[in-house]
Every structure is written in C-alpha cells, then in structure tokens.
Amino acid sequence: MQIVYKGESRSFEEGRNALDILRELDPDSLKTAIAARLNGGLVELARPIAQEGELVPVGFEDEEARHVLRHTASHVLASAVKNLFPKAKLAIGPAIENGFYYDFDVEEPFAPEDLGRIEKEMARIIKKNDREERFVLPRAEALKLMEERGEPYKVELILDLPEDAELSFYRQGEFIDLCAGPHLPSTGKVKAFKLTSLAGAYWRGSEKNKMLQRIYGTAFFNKEEMETYLAQVEEAKKRDHRKLGRELDLYDILDEGPGFPFFYPKGMMLRNLLEEFWRRIHREHGYEEIRTPLILSRDLWERSGHWDHYRENMYTTRIDDMDFAIKPMNCPGSILAYKRRLWSYRDLPIRNGELGIVHRHEKSGALHGLMRVRCFTQDDAHLYMTYEQAKDEIIGVFKLTDLVYSTFGFKYRVELSTMPEDHIGTLQMWERATDVLKSALDEVKVPYQINEGDGAFYGPKIDFHLRDSIGRTWQCGTIQLDMNLPERFDLTYTGPDGEKHRPVMIHRTIYGSIERFIGILTEHFGGAFPLWLSPVQARILTITDRADAAAKELRGKMEAAGLRVEMDLRNEKIGFKVREAQMMKTPYMLVIGDREAEEGTVSVRTRKGEAINGVSHDRLIQVLLKEAGGRSLEQSKDF
C-alpha cells in the first residue's frame, strides 16, 4: 500500500501500523505523537492500517488526540482501582473535555484520601509501560469473558449493542476492558495526570438505577501543561459565579426554585445596567423594542415546529380546555407581531428587539448556577428583510455584536453551524441561507470554523464563542438565518411590482441570555466589575463620627451626579472598614477623617490598593463620571 508522508509517497506492506511507519519515516515525530491522521481520520498509532493515503502524526495540540491520551488514562485509573479494590465493578470511563472519569460500583464509597493511593498505583502502572493490545471477540465469547471476570455492567452494555456490533477489548497487563478505543500504544505515554474529584453518578444517568462512584481526573502530555491547567482550575474556583453571587449579595439559586434564579438589589442593579446598555445601543442601530406574551397556544407551536421538534424542553398548561405552552423561544411571538399589518418593501428591513423571558425544561443534573437555568431572559432580536438585504443585515448584526463584546473586553472565535439531521425546510432553502452566512463572514474578513450539522432546526447559524480572562470559552451570541418560519407562517411584504413576496428572517442574540451573561461577566471580572457596571461604585468610610456630616454631604453630591454610593459610618477601625469594602469588590473607598472633613477632600483607596490623598469632591466626581461614562475597563489614574 502507498503511504504519503510530507508530500512523498512510500510503499508499505498492508497491515503495518502508524507507529512502525513513522518510526521508519520520521523517528523524531514519535517524541510528540500520540496518534495519527490517515486521510484526515484519526487512527491509533498501534492499530494496523488497511488503506492507502496521507499519514500525519498528531500530538496533544489535536483535540481528538487529547481524547486518546485521556481515554487511555481512564483505563489506567480503572486498572489501578481494580488492583487496590478487587471487588470493584467497572461501569464506563470516557474522556471528556479537559479530562476523563470512570464510574465504579464499590461496596464502600471512595474517600478523598483514596485518591492519593490510586494515583500512586496509576504511576506504577504507567512506569511499567504496558502495551495497549486490542482484540475482538464474538458476542458469546465476549459475554462469557465479562461474566467470568465479574463485570455485570459490561455484560449489560454488550447485551444492549446490536447483534452485529463489533465487540472490541483492550488489554494492558492483566487488566481487560470492553472498549471501542482508540488508545495510546502503551501506558507510558501518559506523561502527566491528576485525579481531581469524587462524585456520585447514577448508572446510565437514570435515578432508577444504582448510584455509582465516579472518579474524575485529567491528563496531559507534560507536567508543565498540566500545572498550568490545574492553576487555571484553582483560579476558576475563586471566580465561581455561584460563590461570588452569594458573597457579593447579587443573586442565588435556592432549593425552593431549582433552575429559577433570585436576583437581589445589587444583582438587579447589574442586570438593569446591562439592559439599559442593550436598549441604548439597539436604539442607536435602528431597532425597535417589542414585548410578546409568556404563554401562547399549542396551535402556534405546532405551526412553528417547536411542538414536534422541541416538545421535551417545553412547559405546558391547559386554559379553558385548550393546550398552551410557556414559550421556550421568542420568535413565534415576534412573527405574530410582524403579521399585525401589511408591509411594503419600502418598510424593510424591520428590526424588532425583545428582552423576552423564556422557560425551558432542563434536567436537574444539567443545571449549573446562572449558566444553565430553566427560566431566563433572551436578548432577542428578529429582523425581517428581502433576500437581497440579508447579507448586509447579517454584516450589521455582526458589527453590532463585535461592538458589544469589545465593550466588555472579550475576544471571540466564530463558528458557522450547518443543517442538522432533524430540520424543517428544503435542501435548497438551507443551501441558499448557508451561502448568505458564508458570504457575510467572508466580507467582514473574520476567520471561522464550520460546525457541521449543528444548526437550529429551522436554519443555519453563526455562533460566537467568547474567551474570558482566564482562557475559557463560552458560547453566547448567535445569528440565525431563517427561510423556513416565514414560509410556515405565510409572512409577506408587497414588492415594487405590487405582488406579495416572502421575507427572510434573522434570529439573533448577543448576550445569549441576561442570566448566563451575568454569570460569565462575574467570572470574567472575578466579581470586580468595571466602574460602569459595579452595583456600588464607591463606599464612603469615616474615621470618626466627627466626619459623618462631611460624608453625608459628599454622598449627596455624588448621588446628584448619578453615581452609586454607600456609606459606612460605623464605630469601627478604618482598616476593618477598608478590608470589608475590598472584600465586596468596591471600586473606590473614600476615607474621610477630621482633616478631610475640614478641607472638603477625601483620601481615595482603589480596589487594587492604591492611595491618593487630598482629592477634592468636585475632582473626585469628575474623574468617576469620566471613567464610568467611557465604560472603561481599567480604574482611572487621573486623580
């Protein structure tokens, strides 16, 4: 068979594996290779190659290859657990984003101190560098092997597979596991690993099944990368929006309302500031705001396709013996608003924005603070236009989205998601809509990735993935081009020929949802919001009660100027007051003692610990108004 490597073709006998071929062609590549790609598809280094093509070694930089390493690490974990806890029963152990886990059925739950023992045993197995040997068995033999080894969960998995399914196993030393692979050639390639946590997990995710013990871990190709990642995890824990939401008295999720957030006064201030910014910037870009009902009839959701394609995520109710649904999306209501009158081509494009509350049924295990909730506010907009206007409108939405994200200091990457298997509309409609999105992205000269099959059921979409201050990404904004719902709802406009024509529709969000965006912002800024977003922009701290009158006078001036201020007049030491204000992430602490009260000045303490003495009230207000008004992400140095 012919193998092409770095542009040159070489002949090899059929059945050679990538490991042997690369050892012959380029031995240095094996220092970093953990898998290979043959004609673009991922292959194990140790698995025989049965077809010709171009071979490329891949290392830890390749996402799929990272999964190979981490999947192998999960098998090392399972092997170590079986050595230390022989009665443990194996369930499943996949690679996941940034790590891996394995589920076990054990007589006694694992304790945190067990992780150290397991890690030592894993290190011993890795040092042995056992080969990962793949073999295939007929169904009867596979069942017999797992029954003899006392693995009932593996037996259940085999029985649930189709009769003609290939049943592959991997052996490393004495350890054998049912697994589709792929794996590293040997355990020694797992250079760096760490077990990170314990959790309970129902077998197959069903509360009707037994609770298993799950061990989470992560693995990297070298220790430096792993240490960097673990440091990021620790930083993320400090920034956890659920923790900060409680500490800063912003918001919370209570047991009485799983998935339904509570916003407290300071959280509402943050939320209102985001909504006010949204309204202002949309007015400036030609949008008009609407509001549509929370509950609408089943007939509407059947027409939109949601009843057939999204029913499991919808909350329903009956009113006057008729079925209704609490809206999971705002678009059908917006469509009804469009249909209220006849439109001319001269009226188009129409840009309607809506801060609409939606409800979606999420499984309890998927809920996560403000990031995954059951009730949230989408910053929706629906635009109606001619087909010829669609490209320019998409470019306009893209530029508006870029402007919003840059205001918060976010970088982002872009994906174009295409037609999913479960979709409505003709192939021709999808091709035309996808071509328009591609053309718009090409014109704004932004790099993008194609995400095959991940579009909405009614149209292709552009997705924005934000990168936060510690390197994590979050999917937020989306631009969806829809030719299907205008058809389903018989939307029309009168063209220059006096005839009725079908408009094209854009669905888009920028924040994604107000709640989730607040969670992302909380973690991005670590709770230390820039001045324009801070619920409390300054706290006035007095040294003695003789300064109370001056403090009240300053607060009056600042509030009259539109600044958000608190006072702390308690009979406490000033150091205590300053530390408490710093714990609440207050941008500016304004200290007033006898001298400041007499001079009409303040000593300014910034959140970062800088001190500026003798600042006049007028100068203070001028500087803070300039910083907040400019939506600066950094504290001012103009005092």
- At 394, which CATH number? 3.30.930.10
Same domain as 339, residue 456? yes
Nearest-5° Cα angle at 222, 218 to 225: 70
The reported pLDDT for the residue numbered 309 is 83
- Using left for φ > 0, alpha for ψ between -120 and 50, and beta otherwise, residue 46 falls in alpha
Given 477, 496, 522, which residue is the final one in a domain?
Answer: 522
DSSP state of 368: B
164/157 Cα distance (integer angstroms): 14
Residues annotated as catalytic are 331, 360, 378, 380, 382, 461, 507
Give the DSSP letter of residue 210.
P
Q: Which of 471, 466, 66 is nearest to 235 (CA)?
A: 471
* pLDDT in the model for residue 10: 84
Mean pLDDT of 412-430: 89
* Per-residue pLDDT at 169: 96
pLDDT single digits (tens) 380-390: 999 999 999 99
| Cα torsion 33, 36, 40, 42: sign | negative
Average pLDDT over residues 432-444: 94
Tell me if 179 is assigned to some domain: yes
What are the start-end ranges of the H helices in 259-347?
265-284, 298-304, 306-309, 331-338
Domain end among 58, 80, 102: 58
Which distant-in-sequence residues (6+ apart) come within 8 Å of 183 by Cβ?
44, 46, 68, 71, 72, 75, 132, 134, 170
Q: Are residues 27 and 88 located together in one domain of the fold?
A: no
Rounded to 10 degrees, the C-alpha dihedral 510/412/521/238 comes to 150
Domain boundary among 234, 260, 284: 234
Are 301 and 383 part of one and the same domain?
yes
How does residue 455 score in pLDDT terms, banded at 50, 70 and 90? confident
Distance (Å) of CA 492 to CA 304, 341, 385, 386, 620: 16, 10, 10, 10, 56
The answer to whether residues 327 and 464 belong to one domain is yes
Q: Same domain for 53 and 96?
A: no
Reported as a single tens digit per residue, the pLDDT across 208-226 is 899 999 999 999 988 999 9
pLDDT at 15 over 90: no
For the record, the structure tokens of 50 come out as 């049965």
- Inform me whether the pLDDT recorded for 565 exceeds 90: yes
Q: How far is CA 593 from CA 88, 546, 599, in A?
A: 67, 8, 10
Q: Sorting pLDDT into bands at 50, 70 and 90, what band is 171?
A: very high
Is it the case that residue 207 has pLDDT exceeding 90?
Answer: no
Instruction: Please check whether residues 402 and 499 belong to one and the same domain.
Output: yes
Q: Which domain holds residue 133?
A: 64-234
Identify the pLDDT of residue 349: 97
Residue 209, Cβ density class (10 Å: 0-12 exposed, 13-18 middle, ≥19 buried) = exposed
**What type of residue is 506?**
I
pLDDT band per the 50, 70, 90 thresholds, residue 484:
confident
CA distance 19 to 191: 18
Per-chain mean pLDDT for the chain: 93
CATH of the domain at 35: 3.10.20.30
Which of 381, 348, 185 lies closest to 282 in space, CA to CA?
381
Over residues 587-613, the mean pLDDT reads 95
Task: Work out the average pLDDT over 102-121.
Answer: 95
The SS3 assignment for 514 reads: helix
Tell whether the model's pLDDT for residue 175 goes beyond 90: yes
**CA nearest 382: which of 463, 265, 270, 480?**
480
C-beta neighbour count of 84 within 10 angstroms = 13
pLDDT greater than 90 at residue 50: no
Helix (H, G, I), strand (E, B) or coil at 308: helix
pLDDT classification of 305: cutoffs 50, 70, 90: confident
Does 471 have pLDDT greater than 90? Answer: no
Which residues are within 8 A (CB) of 130 and not within 5 positions of it... i.e. 6 or more apart? 172, 173, 186, 187
SS3 579: helix
Residue 498 falls inside a structural domain: yes
Share of the chain above pLDDT 90, in %: 77
| CATH code of the domain containing 99 | 3.30.980.10
Band of the pLDDT at 26, cuts 50, 70, 90? confident
pLDDT at 476: 93
Beta bridge partners of 350: 384
The per-residue pLDDT for 422 is 82
Domain membership of residue 246 (yes or no) is: no
**Secondary structure element (H or E) that encloses residue 315, with its range:** strand 315-319
pLDDT of 629 reads 96
CA pair distance 566, 637, nearest whole angstrom: 22
Query: What's the rounded Cα separation, in Å, for the pair 3 and 53?
Result: 5
pLDDT at 78 over 90: yes
Average pLDDT over residues 161-168: 92
Name the most confidently modeled range: 94-98, 280-284, 299-303: 280-284
Q: Are 518 and 271 in contact (CB under 8 A)?
A: yes
Q: Are residues 586 and 518 in the same domain?
A: no
Predicted confidence band of residue 166 (pLDDT cuts 50, 70, 90): very high
**What value does the mean pLDDT take over residues 9-31?**
86
Q: Kindly indicate the confidence band of residue 77, based on its pLDDT and cuts at 50, 70 and 90.
A: very high
| pLDDT for 154 beyond 90 | yes
Check residue 92 and report its DSSP letter: -
Report whether pLDDT(619) > 90.
yes
Q: Between the CA of residue 186 and those of 133, 160, 169, 387, 578, what are the distances in Å?
A: 8, 29, 15, 56, 57
How far is the C-alpha of 534 from the C-alpha of 379, rounded, in Å?
Answer: 21
Please check whether residues 496 and 370 belong to one and the same domain: yes
pLDDT value at position 599? 95
Residue 592 covered by a domain: yes
Asked, for residue 595, whether it belongs to a domain, the answer is yes
Residue 24 has pLDDT above 90, yes or no: no
Residue 364: per-residue pLDDT:
85
pLDDT of residue 308: 86
639 domain residue, yes or no: no
Q: How many domains does the chain have?
A: 4
CB 540 within 8 A of CB 554: yes
Q: Is residue 362 a part of any domain in this protein? A: yes
Within a domain: 531 = no
Q: Which DSSP category does 241 fall into? A: H
| Chain position carrying tokens 């697994």 | 179
Whether 34 and 111 share a structural domain: no
- Between the two ends of the chain, the Cα-to-Cα distance in Å is 74
- Among 55-69, 342-356, 437-451, 486-500, name the one with the lowest average pLDDT: 55-69
Whether residue 305 contacts residue 329, with contact meaning beta carbons closer than 8 Å, is answered with no
For strand 89-90 and strand 99-105, is the pairing parallel, antiparallel, or unpaired? antiparallel
Do the bridges between strand 211-220 and strand 99-105 make them parallel or antiparallel, or are there none, so unpaired? antiparallel
Note the pLDDT of residue 105: 96
Give dist(CA 140, CA 562) in Å, integer: 77
DSSP H or E segment with residue 125? helix 114-128
Helices vs strands, H then E, count in the chain: 19, 33
Q: Do 53 and 69 fall within a single domain?
A: no
Are 125 and 215 found together in one domain? yes
Is residue 487 located within the same domain as residue 543? no
- Are 60 and 190 in contact by the 8 Å Cβ rule? The answer is no
Lowest-pLDDT choice from 291-305, 421-435, 485-499, 602-616: 421-435
- In this structure, which amino acid lies at residue 487? E
Rounded Cα distance between 397 and 421, Å, is 27
397's CB contacts (< 8 A; 6+ apart) are: 381, 383, 479, 506, 508
